[in-house]
A = this chain, B = another copy of it.
Amino acid sequence: MSTNASSLSPWVESNRQRLLDELFELIRIPSVSTLPEHKADVLRAAEFTASKLKAAGLENVEIIPTEGHPLVYADWLHADGKPTVLCYGHYDVQPPDPLDLWISPPFEPELRNGNIYARGAVDDKGQFYMHVKAIEGLMALHGKLPVNVKFLIEGEEEIGGKSISKYVPANREKLQADVALVSDTALYAEGLPTLCIGLRGLVYLEITAQGAMRDLHSGLYGGAAPNAVFGLIELLAKTKNSEGQIQIPGIYDDVAEPDAAELQSWESLPFSEAAMLRDEVGSTRLTGEPGRSVLERVWSRPTLEVHGIAGGFTGAGAKTVIPATATAKVSLRLVPNQNPEKVVEAVRSFVATHAPAGIVCSVNVLSDGPGLLVNPNHPAIAVAAQAFEDMMGKPTVFTRSGGSIPIVGEFHEYLGIPTILMGLGLPDDGLHSPNEKFKLENYYLGIETVAHFLEKYGA
């Protein structure tokens, strides 16, 4: 909740409805990057983004074709002697399924209880659009910007960001900046200004099992023929013990533990395990490594998840088949100091060692990126923390996120710049889930906070 006004407050106030209508228009484009049938929609979202960057007053607007979905670039570079901020976001979204659990349709945004409900509302359309509108507001008020600005918006964040990963190292000079600004995370709690300084990495794999040369009748062959689904189950069950500890040798070897000060700061954050269980998860209990706090488990510990298994019969009714093939979607979240390639090799070795009798297993890497940590004492981070405090009336807390934003690692590696993760989401926003939401007032607050940060940073 905004407690202090920025210089942009009157402008936001007098443009509230239009700022919302535009976001709704963007959200209505079902830009699901992982589904080939939505390719044209993803392109439409890129075109929409480009047109709004131009309308905001940015220059050199480009829709950059890639092997996948396009990148959108724009800049404004007339603040001589001032620092340059690289604004990043993504206009693609996760698939909306399971559709039957949505209260309102995923691509028809609806205002309820002060929230915008829609796929992509908070991840990341609503959040990167705050940057676009902050620029528009500053340009409308002053006819110029307090800093130099570059925008790079991608359409493959939800599928591993391959194109931007190629583009950044190949365009270091064009993208050179002092700091990157990303709004794709959440406030730690409602009303608490938060800068996220740590992200987990992600290795996303498909593990495939092949048993017989074709599906077999489970009566005629059950007892003698290998079952690819069961074989994959046997293999995957061995990847973790009953307490959630990963059993793949070497996985924990390089894990960097948070230092004592950071761990202590987490303990002072408002956190209720009971509330998380009740309001966000809703299972009978939370799970995970014993002897680690929940925040450690989701922020600074590697994890392994199975997202689904394809293979065999899953339709209505009964089919008595011994499936010949099965594929599991498996990911590992990585923490700072873990090397993604090394993790992939550890998984490959584990799969080779533990493939059940009669089952041939293989590993296909869909994406990989490391975890990372930003120095909270960097000058731009300090200005952002103060800007947040100015707007929200409370000291900014530094947290991590268990999620992965691979581009942050790439900005660090190829551009040598830190990233300010200034997210305005809330912990219960339901990213990647049915009924994803974005608190309406946080959208407006975000526009003002981004503008206020740019003004302070340029001062």
Partner of A217, one of B219, B283, B431: B431
Given contacts A283-B226, A333-B222, A434-B214, contact A307 B317 (CB under 8 A): no
A34 touches B315 (CB 8 A): yes
Write out, one digit per residue, whether chain A residues 143-185 have a CB within 8 A of any chain B CB (1) or not (0): 0000000000000001110000000000000000000000000
| CA A367 to CA B227, docked complex, whole Å | 21
CB proximity of A325 to chain B, nearest CB, Å: 9
| CA A212 to CA B308, docked complex, whole Å | 15
CB proximity of A95 to chain B, nearest CB, Å: 6
Residue of B nearest to A284 (CB): B358
A223 touches B318 (CB 8 A): no
| CA A237 to CA B229, docked complex, whole Å | 11
Residue of B nearest to A227 (CB): B305
Partner of A301, one of B223, B287, B297: B223
B312 touches A307 (CB 8 A): yes
Stretch at the interface among A12-20, A82-90, A400-408: A400-408
Given contacts A204-B320, A329-B319, contact A226 B313 (CB under 8 A): no
Partner of A224, one of B223, B297, B311, B318: B297
A214 touches B430 (CB 8 A): yes
Write out, one digit per residue, whether chain A residues 248-286 have a CB within 8 A of any chain B CB (1) or not (0): 000000000000000000000000000010001111111
- List the B side residues contacting A404 at CB < 8 Å: 219, 320
**A422 at interface (Cβ–Cβ under 8 A)?**
no
B215 touches A297 (CB 8 A): no
**A23 at interface (Cβ–Cβ under 8 A)?**
no
**A294 at interface (Cβ–Cβ under 8 A)?**
yes
| CA A93 to CA B75, docked complex, whole Å | 63
Partner of A215, one of B221, B283, B327, B433: B433
Write out, one digit per residue, whether chain A residues 300-339 have a CB within 8 A of any chain B CB (1) or not (0): 0101011111111111111111110001010101000000
A-B contact pairs, 28 of them (CB 8 A): A34-B315, A34-B317, A94-B319, A160-B318, A202-B320, A214-B435, A215-B433, A215-B434, A217-B432, A219-B403, A220-B402, A223-B297, A223-B333, A224-B276, A224-B297, A224-B298, A226-B286, A230-B305, A230-B306, A234-B242, A306-B312, A307-B318, A307-B320, A308-B311, A309-B312, A310-B314, A320-B432, A321-B432
